[in-house]
Copies of this chain bind each other. A is one copy, B any other.
């Protein structure tokens, strides 16, 4: 099936190029009866939006989403939900050079070899601008998860280049432009970013996402394990190079006695597993962490080739995020919400009848 569709029962299909006419999305399989309006999506879209701080690209987009279908009198009808964001601030002229040159570490070279044709303006389909639609679709999933099941999905930036957040205060996450949960690190991050922008360079980041209130039972082994689908979803976000669940790479030098999360009637005693055992949610918080690479759109010149194979030197001017990780938090939340939503529907499709007398362990 389509590489631009994610999910099996709750499916999200996106379309649109960075500098094309519009971005769009079709959500199919959404349960009917959910109250939904544009504002539900706009909040998350605004969190992802460029131009909101000096540390993100200065491209200005209203990113106003329109619901075209699937909602009637304020509630979803169960038919496909069509969403549209018209592109406004396109400024194609900034990008004219890249028609014949491949920017290093961008998708230019690979799209060229795959398709022959490519819309080179602003990265076309490979631009992170596409993720606006994931955020919009994720907002629908998040609303259902929260209102019907009490599930929350929240993320934060846990590391910006060399600077790590050391405390997790959810209140702080939206008090600074970095989605950083440790306010004591914000000044350091600000200074770091200022120097970086001046240098013309970019930096990587780490984002953590947490879902709380997820019931045990979600996940479809052996291939569509919940962790495998989360890895798929999160790795499909632009610039992501790594995905961890729970202890992640930390488990390599853990011993079994350290990693196994013991259970008592009062709950699990730890959460090394990140809330997933055997590919199925355990009722503990789902913990995922991702690594985002530094963007490759730099003012510092880099070596590359053109479409004829000749060497060229490339300098990327224009408006770019020095740290794409900063705006990635709402995107990662959206993808996790979409995965959980899809798995909730898949699970009840097969297992709606199942009644278990064993108590669900409380979250500690």
Contact = CB atoms under 8 A, between A and B. Distances in A.
Given A222-B3, A349-B346, A351-B114, A242 B236 contact: no
List the number of copies, as a whole number. Answer: 4
A150 interface: no
Interface residues of A, number: 167
A241 B13 contact: no
A249 B251 contact: no
A6 interface: yes
B358 A308 contact: yes
A329 interface: no
* The 6 residue pairs across chains A and B that have the minimum distance between CB atoms: A107-B278, A3-B220, A349-B349, A202-B256, A105-B260, A232-B232
27 contacts: A4-B221, A9-B349, A13-B26, A26-B26, A31-B351, A33-B353, A79-B124, A80-B125, A104-B260, A105-B259, A105-B273, A107-B221, A107-B279, A110-B281, A113-B360, A114-B218, A116-B355, A161-B252, A201-B255, A204-B251, A224-B236, A241-B245, A242-B243, A257-B298, A265-B305, A345-B349, A348-B349
Contacts of A14: 80, 222
Given A109-B216, A203-B254, 11 more contacts: A1-B1, A3-B225, A3-B346, A20-B72, A21-B68, A29-B350, A30-B350, A105-B256, A107-B280, A116-B356, A305-B361
A19 to B, nearest CB: 10
